[in-house]
Amino acid sequence: MSFYGRYNQYQKRTPAQVKQDPNLVIRIEAIASESSLNEETRNFVNSLHDFCKKNGGLTEKQLAAFSKVESRFSPQEKVKLKNWEQEYKSKYFEDAKIIASYYSTKNFFRFEAEGILNDEDYVPSASRWRKMSENHYAQKILEETKRDPKFPNDSMVQVRSTVGKDPASRFLKKLKNRLGFVIETNLAASSPVNGGKRYQILPMGHATPVFLEERHIMKPNKNGVSTS
């Protein structure tokens, strides 16, 4: 459960004395108008605004929680945020697309992945970006995506006879030993494993290409076939 969810549950269980402050509504409205608020924080700030207008102030815990949010929008923090946005766009923008493509099919960092893939102006927070990009899985995705392919465009390859033994590649079982031609190698990896680099292959006898990982293809040998 998020901080705000735990906080709201606490408030329902524990009545507290309201600290009166006529300036709080103005301060809360200023934060609520910030365009960079995520949906959860915006909902939280709006709930504080409603409470404050109704009761003339906030409880001690509400005020502490609001002050934590408010501090992120001080002049000093805004400078830090601007610097981070510039750093992200100059150093991490392209890597972010690759990593976001991987996380778009996972249950982790889904919010950030959707923002990166669907909004060119979206910038994840520095802390979320570090957690999203510095783990082993993300680093392996980048490594496999960026390394040189073993099989260049237009080269002939053969689908390995072992393809289809794991659930992720079971649909490719009918292509084992099939010969084909490499169409594209500049694709984002989808598996954080050795040989996870993705290829677009046109199998012989097929009208449409398929996507395979490098671990699923090899140089042609005498067992290669051109049709089913």
Q: Which pLDDT does position 164 carry in this prediction?
A: 78
* SS3 of residue 183 by DSSP: strand
Task: For 103-215, list the strands marked E by DSSP.
Answer: 156-159, 179-184, 198-203, 210-213
pTM over 0.85: no
Q: Report the alpha-carbon distance of residue 96 to residue 124 in Å, rounded.
A: 10
Check if the beta carbon of residue 159 is closer than 8 Å to that of residue 172: yes
What value, to the nearest 5°, has the Cα angle with vertex 78 and ends 75 and 79? 90
Q: Domain locations in the chain?
A: 3-73, 76-134, 156-218
Beta carbons within 10 angstroms of residue 228's beta carbon: 10
**CA 222/CA 118 separation, integer angstroms:** 46
Query: How would you write the pLDDT of the chain (228 residues) with one tens digit per residue?
Result: 555 555 555 455 445 688 888 889 999 999 999 887 878 889 999 999 999 999 999 999 999 999 888 888 888 888 988 899 999 999 999 999 999 999 998 989 999 999 999 999 899 989 999 999 999 999 999 999 999 999 999 999 999 998 877 776 777 888 989 999 999 999 999 999 999 999 999 999 889 999 999 999 999 999 988 876
Output the pLDDT for position 71: 85
Q: How far apart are CA 147 and CA 197, in angstroms?
A: 8
